[in-house]
């Protein structure tokens, strides 16, 4: 546990140093380490899957736009616009731009949960997405 926390803190430090917001400034693994460090525990893929696939009192779940599993092209639930796969193994660009990830997490969590997601929830969702492999 101490080692895990240590690694997470080291990753967080690396992330902070490398974080200025331009495209391709991070990776899914770095983001997962970042949120796990903030949450104080590693992301839980099972909880992430539940959060992602269920509705939280509103009209949409994350899966409404991103699909289940989110490994193929998604389709926006209201505009019909196509969305690149969210799972990093299926989309090399996913989770590589800090500003983009922050922006969409804020916006999408507000749409689905009527609030921002916590670090724990972000770590869980990313653990779920990272576990999806071809
Ligand atoms: C109403 C449709 C919609 C819903 C619902 C939705 N998203 Fe999204 N999401 C989008 C669109 C559109 C993008 C931008 C895609 C692009 O430009 O590549 C996006 C992008 C993202 C990104 C950035 C991915 C990247 O390329 O780095 C993340 C992370 C994300 N969504 C997470 C979520 C989560 C978590 C939920 C549920 C809480 C959710 N989304 C629900 C439409 C949606």
- Residues near 92 by Cβ (< 8 Å), separated by ≥ 6? none
Give the pLDDT score at 15.
Answer: 52
Q: Is the pLDDT of residue 50 over 60?
A: yes
Q: Is the pLDDT of residue 28 over 80?
A: yes
The pLDDT of 25-44, averaged and rounded, is 96
- The dihedral over CA atoms of 40, 22, 61, 123, expressed in degrees to the nearest 10, equals -10
The protein residue with its alpha carbon nearest to ligand 1, atom 37, reads 62
- Per-residue pLDDT band at 3 (split at 50, 70, 90): low
Atom number in ligand 1 closest to CA 56: 38
Give the pLDDT score at 24.
Answer: 87
Give 65-118 pLDDT, tens digit per residue. Answer: 999 999 999 999 999 999 999 999 999 999 999 999 999 999 999 999 999 999
112 lines ligand 1 (CB under 6 A): yes
């Amino acid at each position: 546990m101490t080692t895990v926390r240590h690694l997470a803190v080291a990753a967080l430090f690396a992330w902070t140093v490398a974080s200025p917001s331009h495209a391709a400034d991070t990776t899914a693994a770095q983001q997962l380490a970042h949120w796990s460090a903030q949450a104080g525990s590693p992301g839980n893929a099972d909880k992430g899957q539940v959060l992602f696939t269920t509705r939280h009192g509103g009209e949409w779940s994350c899966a409404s736009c991103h699909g289940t599993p989110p490994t193929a092209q998604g389709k926006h639930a209201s505009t019909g616009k196509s969305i690149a796969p969210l799972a990093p193994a299926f989309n090399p660009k996913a989770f590589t731009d800090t500003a983009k990830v922050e922006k969409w997490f804020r916006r999408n969590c507000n749409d689905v949960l009527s609030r921002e997601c916590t670090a724990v929830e972000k770590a869980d969702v990313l653990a779920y997405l990272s576990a999806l492999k071809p």
